[in-house]
Structure formats: structure tokens, C-alpha cells
Chain A
Amino acid sequence: MITVGIDVGSITTKAVLLTDTTWQSLLLPTGCSPRESGKSVFEQILNRAGLSPADVNYVVGTGYGRISLPFIDKAITEITCHARGAHHLVNGTDMVVDIGGQDSKVILIDEQGSVMNFAMNDKCAAGTGRFLQVMAAVLGADVSELADLARGAESVQISSMCTVFAESEVVSLLAQGVPKERIIAGIHRSVASRVASMAERLGRGERLTFTGGVARNDGVREFLSRELGQEITVAPEPQLAGALGAALLARDRCKQTLVTLDEIH
């Protein structure tokens, strides 16, 4: 059985192609058209595997662009998909912390990887990848460098949660001559504490797994585990958890349909 999960995020579009034994992935920048990038990531991953759409049994779309994909069999939210993906990637996960480009979420899951409860940021960008991006731009750095730049530095306090206010706070810290690395550490801490308070509110898990693009930033991860006072595992390929979850859910659905068909016959 072959299934595909497509996760159209605000910054990156991800695809996972799942066969009975293995899975492979592909990432593309989302750009300005989620519909186009969803379509091309699907085509490219099939091409690379030497498959055609007809070979695929089921496609699940997820991410904020999920509704604009005409070729999928079903759209499932990124919350359900991340839960399933993280459950598969890290054995025994009972809480998923996902920080993506414009959303962050904390999800409590059961032994099957199903969602038991979740919390998600509202429209404010605090505690998301967007916050890091804006701050990186102010500091003249690339988001991917932030973790390295801040390594070992003691964090300075960034008190504004609002991105716009935090931006001017960073500008004035720079003007005061506060070292960049300390400011970056402060930014990491700000993101972590925002997400940690979401986790606290939901009721804590035992085994925390970190997914989403921001999970690759170990500055944020460190502060997060410090704030929560517990270890937190970064999922292998954290960015792909959503697409992988989508592909796995596609497989579940496909099996269900086969079962019902069998019952009919």
C-alpha cells in the first residue's frame, strides 16, 4: 500500500511518501501559492520514486494550506497529524510540543497517538517561528543561525510578548550595546516560556516530544526543558512530523475502507 501526506505550512511544504516498509520525504518552500507548492511537492516526490498518482492509494493533506489542495482524498488538521507523526517517531510520546512558522501547539496524546487535548496560540505570533524570523531580521541574522550565535550566552530579559513591541525592545537593547548573543538567547527564552505556559495549562505529560521547524533550534529546546523542568526529545526530522502523520493517517483510513469493503463482499 502506498500513501502520501502533504503538509502545506506557512513557510515550507513537506511531503512524505509511505510504503509498507519505508518512507521518504521532500521539502519545498511554500512561497506565495500554497496550492501550487502542494501540487509540485506531490508531483516531485512521485517522480523521484518513479510512481504516478494512480499508484497512490490515499493522500491526506494537512497544514494551513490543506483546503487548497484539489488532489487529496482528505484534509486533516495539523494537530491530529503532528500527534500521529510524533507518536510514530518517538516511542512512548504522551505530549507533543510543535512550533511551526506561524502556529505553536501543545498536544496531549494517548497510546495510539490520538489527540486527547490540545492548546494552540491565538492569532498573536508570540511563541512561534514567525517571532524568531522577525527578530532574526532585526538582528541581521538568518533564523537557522540563531542557535549557534547564542550558544552559551546568558539570556537577557525580553518582556514584551507582542512581536511588534518585542521588536522595538530588541532595537533598544542593541542600542544600549547589549551583546547580540545575549539578546538572541533572550528571544529563545521568550518563545520557550510562551509555549511552556501553554503546556502547563494543558496538564503536563511524562514524555515530551518536540516537533516543527523550530525544534531544530536547540536554544529554544534548552529553555523549554528548563522552563518545564523536564527532558524534551527532539523528534528525528522534526519538520516532517506533520506530513508523516498525514501519510500514516492516510494508511489507517485506507485500511478502514478496505475492511468495510471486505465486509460488504
Chain B
Amino acid sequence: MSNDYRPMWESLGLDLESHDQLLKAIPQAFGGVYMQQKNRPAEMEYFDFVVSEIHGLRIQELQEHKSRGGKVVGAFCIFVPEEIVRAAGGICVGLCSGAEIGTAQAEKVLPRNICPLIKSFMGFKLGHVCPYFESCDMVVGETTCDGKKKAFEILNDYIPVHMMETPQMKREKDKVLWRSEVRDFVTEMQQFTGNQVTYDSLQRAIIDVNGKRKVLARLAELRKNIPAPISGKDSLLIEQIAMYDDVDRFTEQTTKLCDELEKRTRAGLGVQEPGALRIIVSGTPMAVPNWKVPHIIESSGAVIVAEELCTGLRYFENTVDEDGSDLEQQVDALAKRYLDIDCACFTPNDARTDKLVKLAEEYQADGIIHCSLAFCDPYLVEANRVEKVLKEHNIPLLRIETDYGQEDSGQLKTRVEAFFEMLAAKKA
């Protein structure tokens, strides 16, 4: 990092010692996982730059926003409608929680056997290591999975948390509930920021965030080409950055990247040989810097062509209807778009398994790797449904359960490679 951000970090109350450790770990991990890749698109430069400034430039922007009286709102789930935060003049950041840091602190308030993502966000907060978290004026929680739902009660001791009740099913009465939750969120944001959410401000926010989703969808579309013009690791990085970067700048940079990928595609250029195995990953979110499984997959010769993840398709696959003629209709449109997310916290969740079958066909995938964080009941249990449906459609599946530690890398590599050997033999 070029500038000296230490005074800023200090003023944020970061634990500088632990923060130094974290900041040292990221470029190392990033260098090993990202910079060794062959045939990277030139326009990845921007995203590499964002990573190199991960706790610098963007944090500075957030601070400037705050000094102008703006609010920063953190979220841990893609159910939180960022458009509403924007319409109220706030900035919404997705908090990553992809590293094992502050575990000892987190275990003071949480059980040992809990999803690493939950443990990580608690550790980040209690350990004061994440400048994004420390920049947040509030956090928006949801009632998706039990672990998170209850952890937000604890988190509320350290930072104000607004809870949204996400339903467990998608019946008409659930939709009614969710619409009222979204409506309440508008009121909450107005009170919290002191700014009115108007038809115009919400319309602007909807169009902006739709723009971001559309460019991500364009990127996804380009990956259907054979050979794939960009690696899965790079795509994942872009999807991760989408959650906290400035929306307009992100959209602009990703558009440039897509333009480059289009040229590549026309020239028949790809990141791997045309014969490389094409894999879809599906499961729990992969937050920065959790690139473990994608790295194992792509360093074993395959290319990931889509992520059916929250840091992936689930984040951008539908847009919000832009035709609402008053605030009421806009809010309904938002509620609809968000409730279309196929998260395993819902029952039934056939839409997800059906989608996987469709994706496998559209992306000409050779197999699917279902990757769940340890102790995540919704996804680990739903893996059974996924397995059943994919089997019916003859789509090969590998199931993985893992956490943020590296000690199972060798084991995972064996399983992934064996899966690829099997797929290659089938293909031959």
C-alpha cells in the first residue's frame, strides 16, 4: 500500500498488531493464488489494485463519506436490500468474514462448533481487525439460519443491529411478511440517516444497483464460451469486490473487463485449453480471502465456469423491476427480487436444484462441486437434495465440507483430482 493509512486505522480503533498480521496474510495468499495464473485478462489490473488497497483507499472513501455526515451500513447476507441504504444516502458494505481471525475472542461468546463465517464475523468485531466493520454505523441482520440469527443478538452488544425477518418459506403470506419487512427497513433507514427515501432517490438506487447486477450477469454470460475467457478465481474475486466497492466505479471497470473478454472470445482465447474440464461450484458463500477450494480446483487443471453462491449468481441473477410508478410499487419490486434468491434457508428450495440442472446444461459443465462450510446445517442438509436431483439428471457431483483452515488442503486436492480423473475418463 502506497499511502500511510496507519493514522486512519488508529482512529478507527483497530487493534494494529492483529491488523498487521491480517494485512500481511492477504497479499501473500493473494500472490500465491492469483498472480501465478496464466492468461489473465489485462483489465484484472483494477481488481488487483482494489485488493492491494483493501484496507486503504476504500476505507478512506468511507471515512470521507462519514465526515460529510453519511452513514455506513454493514450486511452479512445478500437479502439486505442495498438499494434502500443508497436511497437514504448511505453506503452499504458486504462484510466478508472469510478468514480465521479473532477465533479465541469469538469463542468467548460463541460455541466452538459453529459455522466459520459466523465465528469469523464475531472475531473480526471483537478483535477490532476489520476497518470496514469498524467504519460501520450499524449492521443489518436477518433471520436466515439459526446460528446467524442468534449471533446477531450478541453482536448487538457491540454495534447496533437492525434485524429483518426473512421468511422460511415462499408462500403468499410469507411474501406479505417480507414486503412489510422491506417497508420497515425504509423507515428504519430514513430515521437512521435522517434522509428521506423518495421515489427519485430510490429509482436512482434501483437503476444503479441493477447496473451492477447486469454487468455481472454479462460477465457470467461470457463464461459460457469455450474456452472460458476468464478464470473462476478471477470471477469470484470480482463478485467479492462487488459487495463493497463503489457501485458506479465497479460497474464501469467490470464493463471494461467484459469488453476485453468479448474480444478474447472472438479471438478464441481462453484461460485454459478448450478441452479443460468445466466445473460449477455451488454452496455457501466464499468471502475474501477464502479462495481455498477454487484454487484447488483450478490448479488441478479445470476451469470454474459459474458460482451458484451468494458471492456469485445468487447475488446478481435477477434485477429489480424498474417500472414502479410510486414508492409503494418500488418497494414491492424490491421485495420480489430479493425473495427470489434461492438460499438453502428456505423450504422447499427446489428452485435451487432445478437451477443447477439448467446451469450445468447452459454452461456445458462436466460436473458440479458442492462446497459447504462446516457446521452449516442448511447447505449440508440440502446437499442431499442436490445429490438426488443431479443423479436423476446424470450430472456428476462432488461434495465437500470444509472451513477456513488449510490443514485439509491435501485431502481436498486428492478428492478434487480423483473427481477430475473420473470426469476425464467419462469424457474420453
Contact = CB atoms under 8 A, between A and B. Distances in A.
Given A77-B417, A79-B418, A80-B418, A103 B425 contact: no
A118 B417 CA distance: 12
A114 B426 CA distance: 9
A135 B407 CA distance: 23
B425 A79 contact: no
Contacts of A117: 396, 422
Contacts of B414: 64, 77-79, 103, 120
B425 A120 contact: no
A64 B409 CA distance: 11
B411 interface: yes
B421 interface: yes
A145 B408 CA distance: 30
Contacts of B419: 118
A123 B418 contact: no
B410 interface: yes
What class of interface size applies to chain A in its complex with B?
10 to 19
A115 interface: yes
Nearest to A115: B422
Contacts of B408: 122-123
**What is the predominant secondary structure among interface residues of chain B facing chain A?**
helix
Contact of A116 (B401, B402, B415, B422): B422
A97 B71 CA distance: 58
A130 B407 CA distance: 16
A76 interface: yes
Contacts, number: 41
Interface in A72-109: 76-80, 103
A118 B422 CA distance: 9
Contacts of A122: 401-402, 408, 411
Nearest to A118: B418
A179 to B, nearest CB: 34
Contact of A123 (B407, B417, B425): B407
Interface in A43-78: 64, 76-78
A116 B425 CA distance: 9
A75 to B, nearest CB: 8
A79 B419 CA distance: 9
B411 A77 contact: no
A79 B408 CA distance: 17
A103 B422 contact: no
Contacts of B410: 64
A115 B418 contact: yes
Interface in B377-428: 396, 401-402, 407-408, 410-411, 414-415, 417-419, 421-422, 425
Contact of A77 (B396, B401, B418, B425): B418
Given A120-B414, A123-B411, A115 B425 contact: yes
B401 A79 contact: no
Given A64-B414, A120-B414, A122-B401, A80 B407 contact: no
Contacts of B415: 79, 120
Nearest to A112: B425
Nearest to B411: A123
A80 B421 contact: yes
Given A114-B425, A122-B401, A103 B418 contact: no
A77 B407 contact: no
Nearest to B425: A114
B421 A79 contact: yes
A117 B395 CA distance: 11
Nearest to B420: A77
Interface string B159-182: 000000000000000000000000
B95 to A, nearest CB: 27
Contacts of A80: 418, 421-422
B401 A115 contact: no
A78 B413 CA distance: 12
Nearest to B415: A120
Contacts of A123: 407-408, 411
Interface of A: 64, 76-80, 103, 114-118, 120, 122-123
- List the 6 closest pairs (A to B, CB-CB), nearest first: A79-B418, A77-B418, A123-B408, A115-B422, A80-B421, A77-B417
